[in-house]
Amino acid sequence: MNKVIKKNLGGWLIMLPSIVLFIFFVWLPLASNVSLSLFETVGYTKVKFIGLDNYKAVLNDPVFVKAFMNTLKYTFWSILIGFAFPIFLALLLSEIIHLKGLFRTLIYFPNIVPGLAVVIMWKYLFNPEPHGTLNAILEVFHISPQIWLNSQNLVIPLIVLTMTWKGAGATTLIYLATIQGIDNTYYEASRIEGATLWQRIRHITLPHLIPTIRMLFILQIITVFQVFYEPLVMTSGGPNNSSISLLQLIYKYAYMREDPNGISKAAAIGVIVAIMLFILTFVYLKLTKEKE
Amino acid sequence: MEHLKSKRDGLLIFSDYKKTPFKILYGLMVLIIMIAIIVTVFPPIWLFLSSFKSAAELDSPPFTLFPEKFKLSKVVELWNWLQFGRYYLNSLWLILGALFCSILFNGLLAYAISIVKPVGHKIVFTLVMISLMVPVILNMGPLLQNIRNVGMTGTYLPLWLVHGANPFYFILFKVYFDQLPKTLFEQAQLDGCTKFQMFRKIVVPLSRPIVMVVSIFTVNAAWSDFLLPYLVLSGESAKQPVMVMIYSFYDNLGRQQGLTLDRLLMIISISIIPTIIFFIIFQKQITSSVATTGIKE
């Protein structure tokens, strides 16, 4: 026993500070969430054990259902708007020789703008007044002015558009790196056999991209599932809760204190979201393992 | 067109570009990229130009892109009124502490799990991987409660330390350490090096590339984060970093004297400038670290 301790003490001591940090910032809060979700609470004080009642209350809460459906909508729109586009851009960037350094830099640029700056900037670009910037641009094409974020149907796609504006450049660079890693002899061989451009893309480029595409697809779902500060800042979840997300609902219950049982409800939603994220992460790790 | 005649790799090469349809296609591709670039560049330019407008100018038709006049004095006045420099110093201080914690704690943990491998390291590894799925905001309530209980509310300490428990940075370090040749460590062990000496003398000198990558992500995260700092530093306005200041300004827009939209747009424009400088200096490292790690932020 003494031998084991002596042999491992050094390693344990090296891990110790980091483990304490993980406990403090991740595992302990997660554990308190699980425990809080099973109690009736006043503030953070547990009053009475009520089993799964908080979960029942949450699942019957129309706002939760709305937030859940919205989060699915965010995911759907982000796949629709934001998924294929970076692959397409990466293909173009890999082929263009003129000014390629400058093009890549500028495509990537939005990614370095702080998220808060991005969402506030877009909020005012989506000015619903007729003299708002985007409406003024629409007017050039004789399209009538839109109310943008005030529209229940447009609000989620528009927030997704904002997120895509910020994120697409980085995704493009990841695909670009993969495309540039493709061995040129494949293309040479295909040319000798007289393959058309489409056949080259279809049978060489795309198959090489498949592992990256799979990985980024699930990673994007995980990321969008955690959408939070974008609707918080741009719309506060409105109009009429039509853009509220699951994490935002947690924040609302935990801080707005409209609901006396808000803390334990927030905890219950937290646990539900954690389980869903756990499943998604599990799939992600499986896929990345396959890639290696 | 000289470039196209010497293109020898990729989907299309010089022999393709002898044909007119492919020349047209190339022009079309450049055009699409140009449009994409206009979309990425226009919003920040709009922001910058709009911030020089007056509040009344922003609020009244017709739409104009350019302000009536550029008054640089507006920047100076606003800077002095808000004592904006103070927020920058706060942000800098936050970033430095975050860098220290992020490299030290994630690096040490990865070193222990990847190379030292004490008994139980697999359990720790699994637990860290599980925390990948837990965004900080998910458990924000209990976390703030913890921070309050240990008396760290209103201080930078939790905002620094939180970067030391980051599973993404940990994985980056671990993947890197896994690739280091094992013989180095075996030799050092034979020479009687302790685990700490091995870290200092072998791992640290070899780790410059990965430290660079993690540093870039950390600086970006520490500079951009606003919610945790906003909640931890609420009531301590003298300690707030730039992003928290912007968020508070935005939150109180129009409710207090002087908090107008044009000024908000201007402080955001000013806040983007250091980011651009940082980007220009570290452009190569930033783009290559994104491409190789597959992590965006």
> What pLDDT digit, counting tens, does each position of A210-254 carry?
988 888 888 888 889 889 999 999 999 989 999 999 999 999 888
Q: Are residues A30 and A175 in the same domain?
A: no
pLDDT band (50, 70, 90) for residue B196: confident
Name residues whose C-beta falls within 8 Å of residue A270's C-beta, 6 or more positions apart in sequence. Answer: A33, A37, A250, B138, B139
Q: Which of A223, A209, A213 is nearest to A281 (CA)?
A: A223
Whether A238 maps to a domain, the answer reads yes
Q: Is the predicted pLDDT of residue A1 greater than 70, yes or no?
A: no
pLDDT band (50, 70, 90) for residue A25: very high
CB within 8 Å: B291 and A176: yes
Q: Can you name the residues that pair with A45 across neighbouring β-strands?
A: A42
pLDDT in tens, A74-97: 999 999 999 999 999 999 999 988
Task: Note the pLDDT of residue B33.
Answer: 94
User: What residues in A contact B142, CB-CB < 8 Å?
Assistant: 28-30, 32-33, 36, 44, 267
Q: Are residues B81 and B63 in the same domain?
A: no
> How many distinct structural domains can be found in chain A?
2
Kindly state whether B9 is in contact with chain A, defined as any CB-CB distance less than 8 angstroms. yes
Q: Can you name the residues that pair with A39 across neighbouring β-strands?
A: A49
How far apart CA A238 and CA A254 sit, in angstroms, is 18
H/E stretch holding B100? helix B84-111
Task: Pull the structure tokens for residue B158.
Answer: 């939790």
Calculate the average pLDDT of chain B: 88
A247 min Cα distance to partner chain B (Å): 6
Task: Pull the structure tokens for residue B139.
Answer: 């458990």
Q: Are residues A205 and A236 in the same domain?
A: yes
Calculate the average pLDDT of chain A: 89
Q: Are residues B199 and B282 in the same domain?
A: yes
Q: Are residues A5 and A85 in the same domain?
A: no
Closest Cβ–Cβ partner in A22, A110, A233 for B40: A110
Q: Is the predicted pLDDT of residue B129 greater than 80, yes or no?
A: yes
pLDDT band (50, 70, 90) for residue B295: low
User: What residues in A contact B128, CB-CB < 8 Å?
Assistant: 22
Q: Are residues B167 and B274 in the same domain?
A: yes
Task: Pull the structure tokens for residue B76.
Answer: 């100076």
CB within 8 Å: A116 and B29: no
Whether A41 maps to a domain, the answer reads no
Q: Are residues B145 and B224 in the same domain?
A: yes
pLDDT in tens, A166-183: 999 989 998 998 898 898
Whether A12 maps to a domain, the answer reads yes
- For residue B11, which phi and psi values (nearest 5 degrees)? -65, -40
Q: Is the predicted pLDDT of residue A291 greater than 60, yes or no?
A: no
Instruction: Determine which of A211-225, B56-70, B71-85 has the lowest per-residue pLDDT on average.
Output: B56-70
How far apart CA B59 and CA A231 sit, in angstroms, is 24
B214 min Cα distance to partner chain A (Å): 15
Q: Is the predicted pLDDT of residue B100 greater than 80, yes or no?
A: yes
- Provide the 3-class DSSP secondary structure of residue A53: helix
Task: Note the pLDDT of residue B160.
Answer: 97
Q: Are residues B216 and B283 in the same domain?
A: yes
Search chain B and give the residue with CA nearest A22: B165
CA atoms in the 13 A half-sphere facing the CB of A287: 16
Whether A43 maps to a domain, the answer reads no
Q: Are residues A169 and A27 in the same domain?
A: no
Phi-psi region of B192 (alpha: psi -120 to 50; beta: other; left: phi over 0): left
Task: Note the pLDDT of residue A286.
Answer: 80
Q: Tell me which of B30, B55, B72 is where a domain ends.
A: B72
CB within 8 Å: B112 and A14: yes
CB within 8 Å: A117 and B271: yes
User: What residues in B contact A106, CB-CB < 8 Å?
Assistant: 37, 40-41
What percentage of chain A carries pLDDT values higher than 90?
52
Q: Is the peptide bond before B62 cis (omega within 30 degrees of 0)?
A: yes
Kindly state whether B55 is in contact with chain A, defined as any CB-CB distance less than 8 angstroms. no
pTM recorded for the entire structure: 0.90
Q: Parallel, antiparallel, or unpaired for β A45-49 and A39-42? A: antiparallel
Q: What is the CATH number of the domain that holds A78?
A: 1.10.3720.10
How far apart CA A170 and CA A177 sit, in angstroms, is 11
Whether A44 maps to a domain, the answer reads no
pLDDT in tens, B214-272: 999 999 999 999 999 999 998 888 899 999 999 999 999 888 888 889 999 999 999 99
Closest Cβ–Cβ partner in A12, A14, A226 for B135: A226
CA distance from start to end of chain A: 38
How far apart CA B43 and CA A120 sit, in angstroms, is 11
pLDDT in tens, A40-51: 888 888 888 998
Kindly state whether B27 is in contact with chain A, defined as any CB-CB distance less than 8 angstroms. no
- Neighbouring CB atoms inside 10 A of B150's CB total 10
User: How big is chain B by its Cα radius of gyration, in Å?
Assistant: 25
Torsion of CA B211, B214, B217, B221, to 10 degrees: -110
Q: What is the CATH number of the domain that holds B268?
A: 1.10.3720.10
Q: Are residues B130 and B6 in the same domain?
A: no
- Neighbouring CB atoms inside 10 A of B239's CB total 19
Q: Is the predicted pLDDT of residue A292 greater than 70, yes or no?
A: no
User: What residues in B contact A12, CB-CB < 8 Å?
Assistant: 118, 120
How far apart CA B180 and CA B165 sit, in angstroms, is 23
B196 min Cα distance to partner chain A (Å): 8
What percentage of chain A carries pLDDT values higher than 70?
99
Full domain range(s) for residue A283: 52-291
Q: Are residues A31 and A61 in the same domain?
A: no
CB within 8 Å: B108 and A14: yes
Cβ pair A80, A156 in contact under 8 A: no
Cβ pair A115, A229 in contact under 8 A: yes
Q: Which of B:250-279 have CB within 8 Å of A?
A: 250, 261, 264-265, 268, 271-272, 275-276, 278-279
Closest Cβ–Cβ partner in B43, B133, B136 for A281: B133
Q: Are residues B81 and B62 in the same domain?
A: no
Task: Note the pLDDT of residue B62.
Answer: 78
CB within 8 Å: B246 and A184: no
Chain position carrying tokens 């909508």: A73
Q: Tell me which of B49, B72, B95 is where a domain ends.
A: B72
Q: Are residues A208 and A171 in the same domain?
A: yes
Whether A45 maps to a domain, the answer reads no
- The interface pTM score, or ipTM, of the predicted complex is 0.89
- Provide the 3-class DSSP secondary structure of residue A40: strand
Q: Are residues A136 and A254 in the same domain?
A: yes
Q: Are residues A189 and A259 in the same domain?
A: yes
Q: Are residues A88 and A166 in the same domain?
A: yes
- For residue A40, which phi and psi values (nearest 5 degrees)? -85, 135
Task: Note the pLDDT of residue B157.
Answer: 96
Kindly state whether B28 is in contact with chain A, defined as any CB-CB distance less than 8 angstroms. no
CA distances from B126 to A31, A137, A205 (A): 16, 52, 35
Q: What is the distance, to the nearest Å, from the Cα of residue A54 to the centroid of all Cα atoms in its chain?
A: 27
Q: Are residues B139 and B261 in the same domain?
A: yes
Full domain range(s) for residue B60: 2-72
User: What residues in A contact B121, CB-CB < 8 Å?
Assistant: 11, 15
pLDDT in tens, B2-45: 677 778 788 888 888 888 888 899 999 999 999 999 999 999 99
Kindly state whether B82 is in contact with chain A, defined as any CB-CB distance less than 8 angstroms. no
Cβ pair A83, A223 in contact under 8 A: no
Closest Cβ–Cβ partner in A26, A174, A247 for B294: A174
Q: Is the predicted pLDDT of residue B296 greater than 70, yes or no?
A: no
Cβ pair A71, A156 in contact under 8 A: no
B173 min Cα distance to partner chain A (Å): 13
CB within 8 Å: A205 and B37: no
> How many distinct structural domains can be found in chain B?
2
pLDDT band (50, 70, 90) for residue A16: very high
Q: Are residues B54 and B191 in the same domain?
A: no
Q: Mean pLDDT across the stretch B68-78?
A: 84
Q: Is the predicted pLDDT of residue A99 greater than 90, yes or no?
A: no
pLDDT band (50, 70, 90) for residue B1: low
DSSP B174-220: HHHHHTS-HHHHHHHHHTT--HHHHIIIIIHHHTHHHHHHHHHHHHH
| Range list of β-strands (E), chain A | 39-42, 45-49
Q: Are residues A87 and A222 in the same domain?
A: yes
User: What residues in A contact B109, CB-CB < 8 Å?
Assistant: 14-15, 18-19
CA atoms in the 13 A half-sphere facing the CB of A47: 8
Closest Cβ–Cβ partner in A44, A114, A170 for B290: A170
Q: Tell me which of B20, B42, B72 is where a domain ends.
A: B72
Task: Note the pLDDT of residue B79.
Answer: 87
Search chain B and give the residue with CA nearest A188: B9
Q: Is the predicted pLDDT of residue A137 greater than 60, yes or no?
A: yes
